[in-house]
Structure 1
């Protein structure tokens, strides 16, 4: 892949991810409460390595203000400062369910259009 095509590919991936990052974070939180860096690790393990902590925290704050998640502090296993963990609220669980339905319909339509 040429440098120009690679940059275009990364830009497209980044734009697609930006549209569903909140849904991905809700899905990760639904598995178990998590703190900031754990989101980056989980997303990277899933192949979504374009996400940094700097883009996650503002989104988590917006989701908290919207009542989709709440947070609490717990001691760090490494003995450092307490970490801020996020957990799903009832509204967050409903948003995740709705988002999954929307995503499934959307990806089906796109796949059909692209012929895959």
Structure 2
């Protein structure tokens, strides 16, 4: 299944903030976790993730710091800030409203069958 670009874009910020709310992480691990959380149905690329991380850092929602792994590889780790936690709480409230409205609209009719 291909997920529409608009849905991916709309869910990107709350997904990343939600992942970082569990603890700091680095780019590849975030990509992997998005894939796992979606059951393999969302495969983000570096080209999508890193601009988002940079934007969240500019907004003050996350911080970044460099560290070296046990294998000697330098990685940029990201951590959520208090402002980021507040933004996540706001996004969760917004998504709850959207999700509830969709459920109500969709519960009125049977699920359409995909045409093949």
User: Which TM-score band applies after superposition, normalised by the shorter structure?
Assistant: 0.7 to 0.9
| CA distance in 2: counterparts of 1:105 and 1:111, whole angstroms | 10
Segments of 5+ residues of structure 2 without an aligned counterpart are 109-116
Per-residue deviation, 1:74: 1.0
Normalized per residue, the structure richer in helix is 1
| CA distance in 2: counterparts of 1:58 and 1:77, whole angstroms | 27
Aligned residues: 106
Q: Structure 2 length as normaliser, TM-score?
A: 0.84
1:43 equivalent in alignment to 2:47 = no
Give 4+ residue runs of structure 1 displaced > 6 Å after superposition: none
Segments of 5+ residues of structure 1 without an aligned counterpart are 1-8
Partner residue in 2 for 1:25:
16
Partner residue in 2 for 1:62:
55
When the two chains are superposed, the root-mean-square deviation of aligned CA atoms in Å is 1.5
Q: Structure 1 length as normaliser, TM-score?
A: 0.84
